[in-house]
Structure 1
């Protein structure tokens, strides 16, 4: 069965590293993290692996080039929809808390994406696949076209990423 992508991306932000040496978070860690799915603009969310570094490495006896794969590369940037309180000021404990957690250049966080048949509002479960996630460092927020809502785009520098890994059980 094919599934429409609409409302199926779940982004979760952790402010502390997962306990497992593998970097794969547990279901408890993910569900305790900040669900930033409703705070991120879907139309320009870049959270994907890109072409790996490549280099020519052929044996002397080969005709034509032979390439080998090098380091993995990623395109990681999110635009945050800013949220403010009725009384004024940013909603730092609510919908704006994800942006507040990464808005300072050089901040380390751990962000994970699940993209599946589940709605983004559904909690993480053991065995869910983390499409891409891991340790990232935020660059300075960029002011983008503020037609509509106020927004800030942040590019992230990937540090230790995991691709297509299952969420672990445990507390």
Structure 2
């Protein structure tokens, strides 16, 4: 069985409206969200479960202080490209700058879903598509990205709830 290249194969939906069932988003809900993969710098994209908290509570009779996993954790950070209107270069392009507009206010809650399969990131969502990770994310203030290249901002976020290895639900 052939391996699949990762480049150009991650589809990202950012929803500003909570899905009816966040653990089972539908095609309609994902499609209504912001198609974000082309608006995020690849090297500035962190969206994944990360190490769970751990604890060690051995009984008095146990000789080894082995640790166990406790609460799960997730991580989110997106370096978002900015888009400005060519007719009025000092103003954001209302159509193209939608991802930044959706994430720029501190304390905004969004629902983010990422599909990473052999499908290209430009292919539409389909029923039963594997979603590698979905999360409810609370945003922080945008930060200036490294100088040079395109204008962009780093949007840090805190994962509030998450879902791993889920699938796109039927309507």
TM-score interval, normalised by the smaller of the two chains: over 0.9
- Partner deviation per Cα, 1:150-171 (whole Å, 9 max, x = no partner): 000001111111111111111x
Offset at 1:91?
1.6
Once the two structures are superposed, residues 62-99 of structure 1 have per-residue CA deviations (whole angstroms, 9 ceiling, x without a partner) of 221222211111221000011112112212222x1011
Q: 8 Å contact 1:17–1:23 — kept in the other structure?
A: no
Structure 1 Cα separation of the partners of residues 162 and 94 of structure 2? 27
1:17-42 CA distance string (max 9 Å, x none): 1102x532111110121101100000
SS at structure 1 position matched to 2:43: helix
In the TM superposition, what is the alpha-carbon distance from 1:100 to its structure 2 partner? Answer: 0.4
Instruction: Report the equivalent of 1:68.
Output: 68
Q: Which runs of 5+ in 2 are unaligned?
A: none
CA distance in 1, matches of 2:72, 2:124: 29
Which sections of structure 1, spanning at least 5 residues, go unmatched? none
Instruction: Name the counterpart of 2:112.
Output: 111
Instruction: Report the equivalent of 1:9.
Output: 10
Given that 2:23 and 2:166 are in contact with CA atoms closer than 8 Å, whether structure 1 keeps it comes out as: no
Question: Which 4+ stretches in 1 moved above 3 angstroms?
Answer: none
